[in-house]
Chain A
């Protein structure tokens, strides 16, 4: 039976003259998983919200939406609220109450369930999903991943038949998103919940999805099974970008696989296993340190534990350095210390050969260091982007050059909150570059960006480094770090372990490494990114 189907769906926002969605048809049957891909602004979120009547956007809707065999408008309010659940991207803005326990019972309280029943339902679910450890915690104390898990459970407590998720893992590190997806997998396979999920980076969800819908500019450019998607992607560079690393690698051998395991076996069978170790680059000792931290310790107050402990780090001019590590490990704190925003209680940070403490007033931030916060919107406190940039504008030439390089023209008159993730990232970078900094510190710059925006950002960072600036990023996005960083280091337990050139870093890491490296390890030990792996496969000698 079809759980949800849409026919010739078109939608236009009241404020827009053009249609946001054009003639989209698709269906999800039984306990199917539908993956929706498309770049930012392609209409994914609009489509997903239309499926959930309570939050569907206001505008003109054509075509039909059928849920559980009835037209969407014929469902009773209670049916509609219970049958379809919705989880969005940002875990911070979805939680309503102050504790996990009250968040979980929120939906049941809304539909007037008896208190005794609420407790048994919530308890049963918390046990099933294994979240008892966070059950009585305040939401404020949870990590991003735990918050998102809490939101998912809070939505699933009404035992919905269809679960809609709008980029649920966009803000999470790989480990937390893995946990989230394993819960989704259980919801789907053990309870038969149909899932409709939009993701920028579908590699995690790819092997569990049944069908894929690709949107471009409001039109459905593809709808069909996963296998036919792979076939279609061979000739379509845009669709190709959404394939996970194992599938891309296997495509070079004209095979279709979806998991690391299968791709690894395929490669080993085709090329044979090698004992070769990844090559070590002969690292030249460098002297042009732009930023140096020596045995730095930081804690919030005297009686708490060290968040940064014995951190030693050097970032050189002209390189992109990436500190990788999970969310909440203290990377943000480290960047704030390196950028002189907070002071360590012990240790020394040197910027361009001078102790950070010796910079008086804001001397550090004019032409020396610039820090991009995790949420780039934080840099904007004026009403328009133009106003904000004017504040830091001291050199009109530079301003004009940046505007044309980053094509900021059309964005200047907008309110910062009207910009998309990629756009605000660009504007924030422009604001920082107006001070012409020698050292740029960026906190999770690739978070929440679609693959295209990530590539633009990555190229921008490479260009900044080639201009002789030192760029230091903290990120949980391993693939991004492997692609664009010169050196990487693992941030763990309060300090950076094993900083090494990225190729070497990822090819020697066994667990915390890119999917391509995990696939290629035994065959092409030096391949770290998917494109490197593809090159190796094309040029490799078959057995």
Chain B
């Protein structure tokens, strides 16, 4: 994990954008399998035992979607059995599974994204290009915990002056309104503190900790190239796949699938490299 953190945050963000852009749009089962397999592998590497719950959840989603899709969709020619008068077809079952697989792999990839990329990474990426947006994000991130703490304090103060502990919409609304008005009272102070430090004088810059280095450029080039290759194949129609009325015979292009698989398991390379670095590192002892 720490090796991934040594890159400029643009690198992992770009990488996730590459993987997810394909995984969202494709209905090709081979690509979906790649993204699911890569995602699961990374999730286990990154989160270890804490990934079990999400994996079980994803399996359930796939199972439920696969099983229920044929109940509502009766297209497809391979009838497995009848539910009432309607046919339960193999094609609809597989299509449901494929949909479930899409959703599951998105969830898994987002979970990996969350584990790898911190708030500050997002800020650093935006900050360089949009310093004002970055400030707003940073202010919101600072504001939310203040708001939450104030809410708890107000609620406790209400408890202490004898207000019922039963949660009610009325109480929540009253406390929340008071919380907002308390915060808006503070906004005056905040704006004063901003002005006092020269806000609005000139166009803002953004202090970022890290320059974009050659290493980052190299690390970004590989996934970008793989992604472009995949899109070229997708554009050429060689990866088109359909479920109805019968499963399409084609849609398997070894080179394209290899490209996407490589893209999905690319970080594993860095994780393995990190293991080696530590193994040969004198700091370990």
Interface of chain A residues 27 through 78 with chain B (CB within 8 A): 52, 54-55, 77-78
- B196 pairs with A90, CB closer than 8 A: no
Chain A 353-404 residues near chain B, CB threshold 8 A: 361-362, 364-366, 369-375, 377-381, 392
* Given A52-B196, A341-B159, also A94-B190 (CB < 8 A): yes
Asked if B235 is an interface residue, CB under 8 A from chain A, the answer is no
Which residue of chain A lies nearest to B156 when distances are taken between CB atoms in the complex?
A: A341
Chain B residues, Cβ within 8 Å of A373: 153, 156-157, 160
* A118 touching B197 in the complex, CB below 8 Å, given contacts A110-B202, A362-B163: no
Q: Is the pair B201, A78 in contact by a Cβ cutoff of 8 Å?
A: yes
CA gap between A377 and B194 in the complex, in Å: 24
With a cutoff of 8 Å between Cβ atoms, the chain B residues found around residue A366 in the complex are 162
User: What is the minimal beta-carbon distance from A146 to any residue of chain B, in angstroms?
Assistant: 15
Q: Are A140 and B145 in contact (CB under 8 A)?
A: yes
Q: Say yes or no: A55 contacts B196, CB within 8 Å.
A: yes
Chain B residues closer than 8 Å to A512, beta-carbon distance: none
A-contacting 9-mer, from B47-55, B108-116, B177-185 = B177-185
Q: Give the interface size class of chain B.
A: 35 or more
For residue B120, CB closer than 8 A to chain A, the reply is: yes
Residue of B142, B158, B198 with most partner-chain A CB within 10 A: B198
Q: Which residue of the partner chain, among A110, A122, A138, A339, contacts B204 with CB atoms under 8 Å? A: A110
Min Cβ gap B31→A in Å is 38
A81–B198 touching, CB < 8 Å? yes
Across-interface contacts of A365 in B (CB, < 8 A) = 159-162
Interface contact B161-A154, CB-CB below 8 Å: no
Interface residues of B in 146-165 (CB under 8 A from A): 146, 149, 153-154, 156-165
One of A96-104, A303-311, A470-478, A494-502 at the interface? A96-104
How far does the alpha carbon of A92 sit from the alpha carbon of B143 in the complex, in Å?
10
User: Which of A54, A114, A339 interacts with B205 by CB under 8 Å?
Assistant: A114
B171 shortest CB reach to chain A, Å: 10
CB neighbours (8 Å) of A118 from chain B are 205, 207
Query: In this assembly, does B192 line the interface, its C-beta being within 8 Å of a C-beta of chain A?
Result: yes
What separation, in Å, do the CA atoms of A267 and B71 have in the docked complex? 95
Partner of A371, one of B160, B181, B201: B160
A16 at the interface (CB under 8 A from B): no
Report if B68 contacts A (CB, 8 A). no
Q: Which residues between 497 and 529 of chain A lie within 8 Å of chain B, taking CB atoms?
A: none
CA distance A117 to B201 in the complex (A): 18
Q: A135-162 vs B: 1/0 string, CB under 8 Å?
A: 0001110000000000100110010000
Is there contact, CB below 8 Å, between A113 and B198? no
Whether A109 contacts B131 in the complex (CB less than 8 A), given A97-B139, A341-B156, comes out as yes
Query: How many Å from the CB of A275 to the closest CB on chain B?
Result: 48
A74 to B254, CA, bound (A): 73
Interface presence of A221 (CB below 8 A): no
Are A381 and B158 in contact, CB atoms less than 8 angstroms apart?
Answer: yes
- A129 located at the interface, meaning its Cβ lies under 8 Å from any Cβ of chain B in the complex: no
**Known contacts A52-B196, A361-B164, A365-B160: A108-B138 contact under CB 8 Å:** no
Report yes or no: A82 in contact with B198, Cβ–Cβ below 8 A. yes
Q: Taking the complex as formed, is A105 at the interface, i.e. its CB lies under 8 A from any CB of chain B?
A: yes
A378: B residues at CB distance < 8 A: 153-154, 156-157, 182
How near does chain A come to B190, taking the closest CB pair, in angstroms?
A: 6
Residues of the A chain whose Cβ atoms lie less than 8 Å from the Cβ of B209: 119
Are B156 and A336 touching (Cβ within 8 A)? yes
Q: Which residues of the partner chain B approach A119 to less than 8 Å between Cβ atoms?
A: 207, 209
Contact B185 A111 (CB under 8 A): no
A151 to B142, CA, bound (A): 14
Q: Which of B164, B175, B197, B207 is in CB contact (< 8 Å) with A102?
A: B207
**What's the minimum C-beta distance from B158 to chain A, rounded to whole angstroms?**
7
Contact of B177 among A99, A370, A379, A381 (CB under 8 A): A381
Judge whether B20 is part of the interface by a CB distance below 8 angstroms: no
CA distance A102 to B145 in the complex (A): 17
Q: Give min CB distance, B9 to chain A, whole Å.
A: 15
Do A435 and B162 touch across chains, with their CB atoms under 8 A apart? yes
Q: Which residues of B contact A151 (CB under 8 A)?
A: 193
B156 touches A379 (CB 8 A): no
CA separation between A361 and B163, bound complex, in Å? 9
Residues A98 and B139 in contact, CB atoms below 8 Å apart: yes
- A88 beta carbon closer than 8 Å to chain B: yes
B85 at the binding interface (Cβ < 8 Å): no
Chain B residues with CB below 8 A from A435, complex form: 161-162
Interface status of A128 (Cβ within 8 A of chain B): no
Q: Which of B153, B185, B197 is A110 in contact with, Cβ under 8 Å?
A: B197
* CB of B106 to closest CB in A, whole Å: 28
Q: Say yes or no for B129: interface residue by CB 8 A criterion.
A: no
Chain A 388-422 interface mask (CB, 8 Å, partner B; 1/0): 00001000000000000000000000000100000
Judge if B199 is at the interface, Cβ distance under 8 Å: yes
A106: Cβ under 8 A from any B Cβ: yes
Most chain A Cβ neighbours within 10 Å, of B119, B141, B156, B205? B205
- Chain B residues whose CB sits within 8 angstroms of the CB of A97 once the complex forms: 135, 138-139, 141-142
Residues from chain B with a CB closer than 8 A to the CB of A86 are 193, 196
- Greatest chain B CB density within 10 A among A94, A109, A375, A435 is at A109
- Partner among B174, B178, B192, B201 whose Cβ is within 8 Å of the Cβ of A88: B192
Contact partner, B161, options A88, A375, A431, Cβ 8 Å: A431
Residues of chain B contacted by A106 (CB below 8 angstroms): 194, 197, 199
Decide: A111 and B161 in contact? CB cutoff 8 A: no
Q: Which residues of B contact A108 (CB under 8 A)?
A: 205, 207
**Does residue A171 face the partner (Cβ distance < 8 Å to B)?**
no
Report chain A residues within 8 Å CB of B196.
52, 54-55, 81, 85-86, 155
In the bound complex, residues from chain A placing their C-beta under 8 Å from that of B131 are 109
CB-defined A-B contacts under 8 Å, sample of 25: A78-B201, A81-B198, A86-B196, A92-B186, A95-B142, A95-B193, A96-B135, A96-B142, A96-B193, A98-B142, A101-B207, A106-B194, A106-B199, A110-B201, A112-B204, A118-B205, A122-B207, A155-B196, A155-B197, A339-B160, A341-B156, A365-B159, A365-B161, A371-B160, A435-B162
Closest 10 CB pairs of A and B: A365-B162, A371-B160, A98-B142, A81-B198, A93-B189, A381-B178, A378-B157, A98-B141, A107-B197, A112-B202
Please give 16 more A-B residue pairs, beta carbons under 8 A apart, in addition to A114-B205, A140-B145: A52-B196, A81-B197, A93-B186, A94-B189, A95-B193, A96-B135, A106-B199, A109-B205, A112-B201, A339-B160, A369-B160, A378-B154, A381-B175, A392-B162, A435-B161, A435-B162
